[in-house]
Structure 1
Amino acid sequence: MKILLTGCCCLILLAVQAQQSWIRINQLGYKTAAPKIAVWCSKTNTPVSSGQVINADNNKVVFTIKGIKQFGAYGPFTQTAQLNFSALTIPGNYKIKAGNAESPVFRIGNEVYAGTADFGLRYMRQQRCGYNPFLKDSCHTQDGYALYGQQAGIPDSSFVDATGGWHDASDYLQYATTTANATYHLLMAYRDFPTAFTDTKSANGDEGPNNIADVLDEAKWGLDWLLKLHPQKDRMFNQVADDRDHISMRIPGLDSQYGKGFQRPVYFINGEPQQRGKFMNNTTGTSSTAAKIASAFALGAGLFAKKQPAYADLLHNKFFSAYDYAHIKKGVTQTVSVKSPYIYAEDNWTDDMELASVYAYRLDKEKSLQPAFEYAQAEPLTPWFTTDTAAHYQWYPFINLGHYELAKQLKTRTDPVSQEQYKTIIDFYKQGIRAVAERASANAFNRGVPFIWCSNNLTTAFAIQCYWYRSLTGDTQFEQLEQACFDWLFGCNPWGTSMVYGLPARGDTPVDPHSAFTYLKKYPIDGGLVDGPVYTSIYKNLIGIKLYNEDSYAPFQSDLAVYHDDYGDYSTNEPTMDGTASLVYLLAAQHTTPAGHQTMSKGAIIRGDSTQKTIALVFTGHEYNDGGSFIANTLAQKNIKASFFLTGHFYEQPAFTTVVKKLNSAGHYMGAHSYAHLLYCDWKKRDSLLITQKQFTTDLLQNYNVMKKKGINTAASTYFLPPYEWYNDTITAWTAKLNLQLINFTPGTISNADYTWPELPNYRSNEAIYNSIIKQAEEAPAGLNGYILLLHIGTDPRRKEKFYTLLPKLIDHLKNKQYRFVTIDKLLKPEDKKI
C-alpha cells in the first residue's frame, strides 16, 4: 500500500531507487481461464530468462514461466519482458519471482472481481448534485439561470430548474453529454449483467434496499436530470456552470461567483457557436448531445417498463422529442468556457446519431435501420484509434456505441442485405482494434492507447470494444489485448499502481487525487477512476500544474509519459464520473461470464449460474425445529432435494434427532452453520471482528465433529453458511484455510425474514415474503435463476404464521415456471482443487 509522502519521503524514494527491477501485475487478480501476463521491467541491461509462480500461502513453486518474450526499452525501463502464466488455472494466492524482482501477492479465482462494479457506484453517489447521500446534505439547489435560449422564448437570466445529476469531476460543472454517456453505460451494465449488482441503497442513495438494483437507482438519478434539461420538445440545455467554478476548491454548496446570487448559468443548445472566453467554441449543430440524451431515454424506457411503467412511458415519449431535437441542425455541440482555453472539444456526432437511430427503429418498427447504417459508414472507426494524439474529449464517447447496438440488431436478421451490413459493422470494430493492436505489439505492456488527457477513459472504452467484438463474433484473437487493458488499469503499468481509488483495498491505489473531498476533508472517494497517464509533452504545457509533495513515482516517470498521485496534477490524477461509469460496465462484464457463473460477495458465493433455471432451497436452524417434520414431508411429496445448514447446537438436541436422521437419509445436503451461532462481526462496522481466528476455527470444527457423530458425511459438506448470514472478507479467508467455501443467500427477496415476529421493526408477513419471491421470479431479468433461497427450519413461537406452511404452494408455482430444485452442491460447481 502506497502512503502519502511527508517528512520521510526521501527515505522512501531512496528505497525505491535502490531497487532496479520490478514485476507488474493486475492487483485485483485473474480469473482462472483468463490470459495472465505479468510484466517484468528493469533499469539494468540484463534481460530475465525465466520466472516462477509461487503459492503465497506455503511458498512452494507451482509453475515455471518459460519462453519469456523480451521487448527491450519502454518508458523509464531499459529492459522489459512478458511473463506469461496463463496455463496456471488453479485458484489460490500467488506471487511471481523473476531475477531479483518479486511481485505483490495476487489471486487467481473466478470470484476476484466480485462486487467491484458495485464499488464503482460509491463514487457515482458521492458525485451526486442536489441531495448528496455521502454528505447527507443538498447542494446547488438554486440552479440556474438560462443563457442562449432566446430563440426558444427563454430570456437570458430567466430561471431554469437544473438541480440534480452528477458533478462532472472534482469541479462542480455538469454536462449533458457526459451525463448522458455515463447514464447509458450504467443502464447497459444492468441490462447486460444484472447479477453483477446488489440492492443495498434507496433511490436517493441512502442505506436501505428498495427492490431496485443500486445501479438502476444511480442511472435513474442521471435520467431525472436529463429530463430536466429537456423539459419540452423545443428546449434542451447542454451545460450547468462553467470554468468560473475553478476559482477555488471547496465542498459542494453555495457558489456565488457567477453574479446571480447562488444560481449558476445553464447553457441552452441552439446549434450555434457560444462563448469560450476570448474565443467561440466550434459548435456546429444539435446532434451530438441530443442524440446521446435520446439514447439514454430509450434504454431507460425499456429497463423501467415493468418496474415503473409511467416513468418508462415518459422516457419513451422524451426519446422521440430528443431524437427530433438532434435533427434540428445536424452537427456537434461543444461545451463552453469563459476564462480558460480548456473545453470538451467534441468533433464527432454521427456515432451518436447511429446509436439513436437504432433505438428509433426498436421503438417504432415502421422506421428503418438504414439511417443507422448510413451514420455508421460516416464514422467507421473512432478516430483516436488510428492516431497518437487528440484534443480533449475530441472523439467522444471514446467508443462507438452505435456499432454494437446496430450489429446486435442486424445479427438477428437473415436477409442477405442485413447479413452483409452486419459483417461491415463487425469489420469496423475489427479494423479499429487492429490499429491499436499494431501499436501495442511493440511493448511489453501491450499498450496501444495514446497517452492523451483521460487516457484511462480511452483504455476502458477500448477494452469494452474488444469485449463486444469477442462476444459478437466468438473471435478470441484480441482477448490478450483486452485483458492487458484491464490489467493496466489495476497495476500492470510502469507505475505499478491501480488507477481506481481504493480498489483493491490492500493494493497500491491513488491516495492524493485532485479532489476537494480528499484535499479538504480527507474523505475517501472510493471507486473513482482517475484520468491516467499523459504524454510528458502534454503535462509540461498545461496551465497551473504543480506537485504539492515529493513524487512517489519519480523513478517511473519518463520522456514518454507521466502519472502523479498528487493533488496538484489535475491532468493525471483527477477522477471523473463518466470514466467511472464506463468502468462500472467493464467491471460488470468481468464479473459475469456466460455459463457456469457464480456471483460472489466478499468472497462468498451468493448465487449460482444465472443462465440456468435452478434454485437451491436452503434451510438454516439453531434453536427452533417446529417446521422440520413438515418441511421434510413436503420435500418428499414434491420429490425434490434441499440443503440444510444447522448449528452444532441444533444437531445435538435429542428432540431434533429424528428430523436430522430423516433429512440425512433422504439425501438432502447437510451442512454447518457454526456450533454456537456466533456473531462474527459488528452489525454497523462490518470490518470490525468480534471473534479471533482461533475462536472461529474451534467453533466451526466443533460443528463438523457433531455432524460426524450424527452419521453425516462431512467430507461431502464443503460449503459453509455463516451464522446470522453475516460475515466479512476475513471470515471468508479463514473459511478457505479450512478448505471450505463460504456461501450466503441470494439478495433480491425477503425470504430470510421468515424468522421475524410482529413486535420486531423488520417484521415481514407471510404474504409479503411470498410476494417478494414471486415478484423476483417473474419480473427480474434473470428471475430466480441460480438462486440460493434461504428459509428457516423453525422460528420463534412469537411468530404465529409460519412461512414454511406455504412451501407446497411455492414449490408448485415455481415448478410451473420451469424452475428445478437442486441441492447446493449441484447448484454450485466447486472450483478445481487448491494447491
Structure 2
Amino acid sequence: MAYSKNIIRSLLWCSITCLFSLSASAQTGHSSAPDSIRLNQIGFYPAASKTAIVLTGNVQPFTIQTPGKKVVFSGKLKPSPRPDLSGRTIYVADFTALQQPGQYRLVVPGVGQSYLFQIGNQVHAGVAAGAIKAFYYQRVSTALPEKYAGKWARAAGHPDTAVLVHPSAATAQRPAGTVISASRGWYDAGDYNKYIVNSGISMGTLLSLYEDFPTYVKTVKLNIPESNNQVPDLLDEALWNLRWMLTMQDPNDGGVYHKLTNAAFDGMVMPDKAVQPRYVVQKGTAATLDFAAVMSQASRIYENYNQQLPGLADSCLKAAEKAWQWAQAHPNAVYDQDAMNSRFEPKVSTGAYGDNHFDDERTWAAAELYITTKNDTYLKAVPWSNTIRFTIPSWAQVQTLGYYSLLRNRNQLTAAGKKAVPQLSHQLLALADSLANPATLPAYQTVMGRSAHDFGWGSNSDAANQGITLIQAYQLTRQAKYLNAALSNLDYILGRNGTGYCMVTGFGSKSTRHPHHRPSVADGIADPVPGLMAGGPNPGMQDHIQVPSTIPNQAYIDDDRAYAVNEIAINWNAPFAYLANAIEALQYQAGYVKK
C-alpha cells in the first residue's frame, strides 16, 4: 500500500515458471553463502559494469570462480569512498572486466563466497517478464487456471457485478444503494480493494513502457489467457485494469469514483472467501484527473490495435474528455476519508490515498490530452517555465509523468508544444545529473541510498522510479552515464543493498518469501506468488513490527505482518517492471551485449 503525503494509510495486515528465471535449484543450492557479500543475485550483462559489496574484510584479493571452483578473474577489494549509513567502511569488488558468459560466484578468502550469479545476454529477461506477469496474479473477478498460474492457481474472487453506490457517492441518477457492475481490475496491493488514484500511476508507468519500447514489448511473452490475440501481452494485461477503470466513471456526469472497496479490510483469506459488501465511494478531483490522463494515453496506444479491439481507443478518449470537463467544474473535490466517515455510513477504513493538491494531476491529465488530441487548449494547463522542477513520481505527485510524455512524443507535438521541449529537457537532465553524479554515490555505489531520507514507505519503488528518470534522460541524450546509473538501481533491488535480499519474490537466491500479500499468506503454498517487489527498507515501523535494525538502509524484515516494509503494491511493481524491461530493451544499443 502506498504511503500518503498527508496520512499513513490505514493499518492492515518461485519463480513464475522455469521459462522466466534461473532455475530455483541452481539459485538456492548454496544456502550456506554468507550474507556479507551483496550483489545482483540474478546476474550481469557481459559488457556492463559488475560490482559487489563486501561488508567485512579489508583491502584484500578476491576471485570470481565457476561452480567447479575454476578461477576466471582476480581482483582486489577497495574501501567504499564514503561510509555506509551505519557509519562503517565497506568494500567494493569491481569485476567489470570479466565478460565471459557463464555461472559464477565471488570468493573472498576469510569472508566466504557469494550466491551464484549469471553473466550473459538477456540476463534479466526472466525477472523483467515476471514483474509484469505479477499483475496477472493480481487480477480481480476471474479464476486463475493452472495453465497460466501454475501452482498459484486459484478460484475467482470479487466478481464486483453487484457493487453498491456508497452514500458519499450518491446522485439523483444514482442514489445510495444503487447496484452497478465494476468487475475486473487488479487488487491494489496486499489487500483486495481497487483504487483509481493508485491505478493511475501504475497504468501510466506500464503504458509508458510500451510507448518507449514498442518493438521490444511485442517480444515479451507472459503466458496469460489473451496471449494469442495479436496484442502485446503487456497491453492485454493492462487492459484488464483499464476496462475496470472505465466502469468507475459515472456515465451521467463524467466524474470518477475514488475507489471500489469493502468498508473494512478483509482478513488474511483467499479472494473467493472474501465476500463482504463492496462499494464505490465519493468522486474526487484526483481520481478523475488520473483517470483522464490514463484514458488519454491509452487511447493513442490502443489505436494501434483497432482491428483487435474495435472502438476501444475512441471510448477511452471520450471518457478522458468527459472526465476533464468534470474536473474543470469540480477543481477541488478532496477525498477526505475522515470527513466522509463523519457524515456517512458505513464508515470506510481501507486505504485512503488522500490528496489535497491537484496541480500535479491536472498537469499530467492536460499533457496526455494535449498529446493525443493535438488541441493546444490543453497545453495551457501544463506549466513548463523555468520555475518548474522535475520530481521523482509517486501516486501523490504525478506531474512528471506528463513531462515524460511530452518529451517522448516531442517529435509529434504542435508548434506550441515544441516550444516547451528545451525547458523540459533541461529540467529532466538537471534531475538526472543529480542522480547520476558519481561523486555523491553512497557506499553501495547505487543511485539509491544517498541519505537516510531515501528509506521510507515503499522505498524500493523510489529506487525503481529513479531508474525511470535516468532512462528518460538516456532516451533523450543517449549518454551512457544515465543508463549505467539506472542499472545500478536494478542491481540494488536485486541484491546489492543493505538488506542482503533480492526484493522480488521468486527470483534470486535470498529473496522475499513472506510478503504482506493475502493470497501468498492464505494459499497454503510455501513459495509466494512470484514477481512481486516488496516495499523495502523503512525504519518507521508503522505496523509496530520490530525490524532487526533501524539503520535506514537495513530496516527490513521478511515477515508477512510487516506491511510497512514487506507489502506489495501495483504502483511499486509498475516502475520495477519498467526499469527491468527497459534495460533489457536497451542492452544491445547500450553495448552491454553483442548480438
Per the normalisation by structure 1, the TM-score is 0.58
What is the match of residue 707 of structure 1?
none
List aligned pairs for 1:178-577, cutoff 5 A: 178-191=198-211, 192=213, 193-198=216-221, 200-203=223-226, 209-232=228-251, 233-241=253-261, 244-246=264-266, 248-253=267-272, 255=274, 262-271=276-285, 288-331=289-332, 333-334=334-335, 336=337, 343-346=352-355, 349-367=358-376, 370-371=379-380, 373-374=382-383, 379-382=388-391, 395-397=396-398, 400-410=400-410, 421-436=420-435, 441-446=441-446, 447-448=449-450, 450-504=454-508, 507-523=509-525, 524-534=528-538, 536=539, 538-539=540-541, 542-543=542-543, 545-546=544-545, 554=548, 558=551, 561-577=554-570
Q: Secondary structure at the match of 1:426?
A: helix
Q: Secondary structure at the match of 1:546?
A: coil
What is the match of residue 148 of structure 2?
none
* Cα distance between partner residues in 1 of 2:414 and 2:188: 43
The CA deviation at 1:38 is 1.4
Deviations 1:140-172 (A, max 9, x none): 433233332345643223223222211111111
* Cα distance between partner residues in 1 of 2:316 and 2:351: 33
Question: Measured at CA, do residues 40 and 365 of structure 1 come closer, stay the same or move farther in structure 2, by a change above 3 Å?
Answer: same
Question: Measured at CA, do residues 225 and 357 of structure 1 come closer, stay the same or move farther in structure 2, by a change above 3 Å?
Answer: same
Correspondent of 1:90 among 86, 100, 106: 100
Structure 2: stretches of 5+ with no match in the other structure: 1-13, 15-30, 145-152, 339-346
Identity, in percent, stands at 21
Correspondent of 2:41 among 23, 27, 43: 27
* Cα distance between partner residues in 1 of 2:114 and 2:70: 15
The CA deviation at 1:226 is 0.7
Give 2:479's aligned amino acid: D
* Cα distance between partner residues in 1 of 2:496 and 2:333: 36
The CA deviation at 1:241 is 1.5
Checking the alignment, whether the CA contact within 8 Å between 1:53 and 1:61 is kept in structure 2 is yes
Q: Secondary structure at the match of 2:390?
A: coil
Greater shift, 375-384 or 468-477, is seen at: 375-384
The CA deviation at 1:572 is 0.8
Deviations 1:674-721 (A, max 9, x none): xxxxxxxxxxxxxxxxxxxxxxxxxxxxxxxxxxxxxxxxxxxxxxxx
What is the match of residue 100 of structure 1?
110
* Cα distance between partner residues in 2 of 1:239 and 1:48: 55
Q: Secondary structure at the match of 2:259?
A: strand
Deviations 1:455-488 (A, max 9, x none): 1111111111111111111223333431221111
Checking the alignment, whether the CA contact within 8 Å between 1:491 and 1:499 is kept in structure 2 is yes
Checking the alignment, whether the CA contact within 8 Å between 1:30 and 1:109 is kept in structure 2 is yes
What is the match of residue 578 of structure 2?
585
Checking the alignment, whether the CA contact within 8 Å between 2:85 and 2:553 is kept in structure 1 is yes
* Cα distance between partner residues in 1 of 2:218 and 2:177: 46
Checking the alignment, whether the CA contact within 8 Å between 1:146 and 1:159 is kept in structure 2 is no
The CA deviation at 1:239 is 0.5
List aligned pairs for 1:47-66, cutoff 5 A: 47-54=58-65, 56-66=66-76
Checking the alignment, whether the CA contact within 8 Å between 2:165 and 2:174 is kept in structure 1 is no
* Cα distance between partner residues in 2 of 1:35 and 1:347: 43
* Cα distance between partner residues in 1 of 2:434 and 2:590: 33
* Cα distance between partner residues in 1 of 2:289 and 2:103: 47
C-alpha RMSD of matched pairs (Å): 3.4
Q: Secondary structure at the match of 2:405?
A: helix
* Cα distance between partner residues in 1 of 2:260 and 2:385: 31
Q: Secondary structure at the match of 1:518?
A: helix
* Cα distance between partner residues in 1 of 2:360 and 2:116: 42
Give 1:34's aligned amino acid: A
Give 2:581's aligned amino acid: A
The CA deviation at 1:255 is 4.6
Question: Measured at CA, do residues 28 and 348 of structure 1 come closer, stay the same or move farther in structure 2, by a change above 3 Å?
Answer: farther
Question: Measured at CA, do residues 376 and 221 of structure 1 come closer, stay the same or move farther in structure 2, by a change above 3 Å?
Answer: farther
* Cα distance between partner residues in 1 of 2:321 and 2:497: 44
- The yes-or-no answer on 1:165 pairing with 2:167 is no
Question: Measured at CA, do residues 289 and 242 of structure 1 come closer, stay the same or move farther in structure 2, by a change above 3 Å?
Answer: farther
What is the match of residue 343 of structure 2?
none
Q: Secondary structure at the match of 1:352?
A: helix
Structure 1: stretches of 5+ with no match in the other structure: 2-14, 257-261, 272-284, 385-392, 599-828
- The yes-or-no answer on 1:132 pairing with 2:143 is yes
The CA deviation at 1:299 is 4.3
Q: Secondary structure at the match of 2:533?
A: coil
Give 1:224's aligned amino acid: R
The CA deviation at 1:300 is 4.4
Checking the alignment, whether the CA contact within 8 Å between 2:296 and 2:372 is kept in structure 1 is no
Question: Measured at CA, do residues 521 and 22 of structure 1 come closer, stay the same or move farther in structure 2, by a change above 3 Å?
Answer: same
Deviations 1:160-215 (A, max 9, x none): 32222111111112101112322233333334232441263224xxxx73333322
Higher relative contact order (CA 8 A, sep 6+): 2
What is the match of residue 54 of structure 2?
40
Checking the alignment, whether the CA contact within 8 Å between 1:514 and 1:567 is kept in structure 2 is yes
Correspondent of 2:127 among 116, 122, 131: 116
Q: Secondary structure at the match of 1:572?
A: helix
Q: Which has the larger radius of gyration?
A: 1
Deviations 1:388-418 (A, max 9, x none): xxxxx67445x82112111233356797x86
Q: Secondary structure at the match of 2:269?
A: coil
Give 1:430's aligned amino acid: L
Checking the alignment, whether the CA contact within 8 Å between 1:149 and 1:270 is kept in structure 2 is no
Deviations 1:21-43 (A, max 9, x none): 7221101111123222211212x
Checking the alignment, whether the CA contact within 8 Å between 2:133 and 2:222 is kept in structure 1 is no
